[in-house]
Structure 1
């Protein structure tokens, strides 16, 4: 527990009542903000249930609430990602789930609680926000076009960066989001498409939902191999991949889950775009019941955007236009489903090859997200 001279207290979330207040806090922070997308409360509750979220099988978390005169005014979660420590051989801890009123005292107290928790575990740096890892929602929106976030991307008030900086955190890495609109396709893409299909014999197959578990295994192997050299990447465990697949399966369109295969049947690449289900969640106020499911069925037919969340290639197939082939298939399928735009996110700021490739596709870098770090 943290005590300050004022009536402000930071307390660990330990009871079901505490967690309920933790989950409910954003509704007061974002009251009146038309761009905020309320999460499903049941999903947030499940994230902190060790029996339901596999992150807890290998790592530790401690959520906190900031209270002033008994009223919740901020929240944060301290995170120890043991898989990150082992893979990168660095004693970095994390923070996430940060929400706060516009008050540096509150933000400072919350982050001090995280610092103390991480120090007790021998960690020497704090990085975030991540919820819980870079495989999930991460980063702070710092710049870009106005409007609501797309599915699984963060959103925050414009004063959040100032709060973190006032608490001693500094930029460690920026993440880019790119936007492509229907019809913004340079002619050279179609020439590249012919190279992939005619010269290399690459063919596209959509995910076979009748063999979902087997297809998921293919995705996991390629995902972990394609991203293993990326800064901050931690491979997903089999349990984490299964958990994410179960969460995304209700909104997944198999026509937007694509494998690029060689003539011999080997997997050269995989791409996944999700319909922007945030366009549905905005209308549901965090609840599926009693009428949320009906709303979801109605409003999902009106989705106009998708997010390209994964596009990875086997190393030997990079630079051979397979990525262009996958992108064009996704865009065509999206347009056929009534979508007029696509966000490609997120891309590390120093991943020049990927950023340049998306720019050549006709994309526009339209939002920037930031991860922060501070020494402990």
Structure 2
């Protein structure tokens, strides 16, 4: 076997090789969804990714005979270092991600190289894979290889789990997605809860107004930062990241798919639902040219999709232990379900990711008869 080398990347050509490698490694995987190449490259560049305003990263390529055979990022999020240890991060915790390899030898050397870099930066513990922000694609897929991921969810080869665990990593957190048949009415008990809420004059479930995008986004962010602040892995979003998210998601934001719940006129909960952009991206194979851009623009005007994804939902902390929290959640889910079914032709919903210890959200998902369809795992190891 040819000699294997690992090197840090720095040139524009290296960055392109790094971003393009999955297109070759997953070429025969029918369930991998190629990202747009420009966006995949942009995530790696500090000038195009607001996450770098509070983080730093080093990217590495593995090569045999000059051919790329693996990749990994090693990175440090300075905000994550300030978070409580019991929430997963904390002082001394670095991360690695964007992991791909052709075989076990490559995998082992890539992980060891990432660890060496983190040690050199003073880190004493490594979490991975997290690619690269916790808000992007955290965790390694360990169940659910048989169907494509939805928008903003990752995919991986089956072998990766054994290679990572073989490098001495132990599971620390599982993240799950739930599959839901939205063509079926919810159980009677859920319908009664929704109807009760509709009779409560203090409750209002409203659509967002995309023409007031920044104002609505600020309302949702306030609820999110309060609702998720005690969750494992939470790192607050910064203004540069929020700006990036707005640019990326605004084309697939539709008023009737995002709801804000108000209690006596005060926003207290939200639910974001996105049409599964991956259904439109997969046939493009990462390219907008020559005709991909036109196909995508036509789709964005009024997407017809099979799947809707719920990436985020939150209820302010003061209500989380109350019956009202579940009632608001069921109401938002039902109103969005109706819109998704009627206006977008969707037949399936996917909720998540959901932390394995988030009993409130898991209970809501199970009560509406949804089933776990994918599991992602985050690992840790002392350095």
Q: TM-score range by the shorter chain?
A: over 0.9
- Which residue number corresponds to residue 327 of structure 1? 333
- Which residue number corresponds to residue 139 of structure 1? 139
Aligned positions of 1:279-298 closer than 5 A: 279-298=279-298
In the TM superposition, what is the alpha-carbon distance from 1:195 to its structure 2 partner? 2.6
| SS of equivalent to 2:274 | strand
Q: For residues 106-129 of structure 1, what are the alpha-carbon distances to aligned partners after superposition, in whole Å with 9 as ceiling and x for unaligned?
A: 001111111011101111111111
In the TM superposition, what is the alpha-carbon distance from 1:299 to its structure 2 partner? 4.8
1:255 & 1:247 partners in 2: Cα distance? 19
Q: For residues 67-90 of structure 1, what are the alpha-carbon distances to aligned partners after superposition, in whole Å with 9 as ceiling and x for unaligned?
A: 011110000100101100012233
Runs of 4+ residues deviating >4 angstroms: none
Tell me how many residue pairs correspond in the alignment. Answer: 370
In the TM superposition, what is the alpha-carbon distance from 1:92 to its structure 2 partner? 0.7
Mean Cα displacement is larger for which, 311-320 or 33-42?
Answer: 311-320
1:125 & 1:329 partners in 2: Cα distance? 44
Is 1:11 the equivalent of 2:7?
A: yes
**8 Å contact from structure 1 (residues 226, 312) kept in 2:** yes
In the TM superposition, what is the alpha-carbon distance from 1:274 to its structure 2 partner? 0.7
In the TM superposition, what is the alpha-carbon distance from 1:341 to its structure 2 partner? 0.5
Aligned positions of 1:94-109 closer than 5 A: 94-101=95-102, 103-109=103-109
Supply the RMSD in Å over aligned alpha carbons. Answer: 1.5
- Which residue number corresponds to residue 247 of structure 1? 248
**TM-score, with structure 2 as normaliser:** 0.93
- Which residue number corresponds to residue 303 of structure 1? 305
Unaligned 5+ runs, structure 1: none
| SS of equivalent to 2:231 | coil
Is 1:61 the equivalent of 2:57?
A: yes
- Which residue number corresponds to residue 381 of structure 2? 374
Aligned positions of 1:259-298 closer than 5 A: 259-263=260-264, 265-298=265-298
CA distance 1:127–1:184, change in 2 (3 Å): farther
In the TM superposition, what is the alpha-carbon distance from 1:246 to its structure 2 partner? 1.1
Aligned positions of 1:187-202 closer than 5 A: 187-199=188-200, 201-202=202-203
- Which residue number corresponds to residue 87 of structure 2? none
- Which residue number corresponds to residue 161 of structure 1? 161
In the TM superposition, what is the alpha-carbon distance from 1:142 to its structure 2 partner? 0.5
Is 1:222 the equivalent of 2:219?
A: no
Unaligned 5+ runs, structure 2: 85-89
Mean Cα displacement is larger for which, 288-297 or 356-365?
Answer: 288-297
| SS of equivalent to 1:365 | strand
In the TM superposition, what is the alpha-carbon distance from 1:144 to its structure 2 partner? 2.8
Mean Cα displacement is larger for which, 349-358 or 59-68?
Answer: 349-358
**8 Å contact from structure 2 (residues 187, 368) kept in 1:** yes
**8 Å contact from structure 1 (residues 145, 366) kept in 2:** no
In the TM superposition, what is the alpha-carbon distance from 1:289 to its structure 2 partner? 2.3
Is 1:87 the equivalent of 2:88?
A: no
| SS of equivalent to 2:83 | helix
In the TM superposition, what is the alpha-carbon distance from 1:7 to its structure 2 partner? 0.9
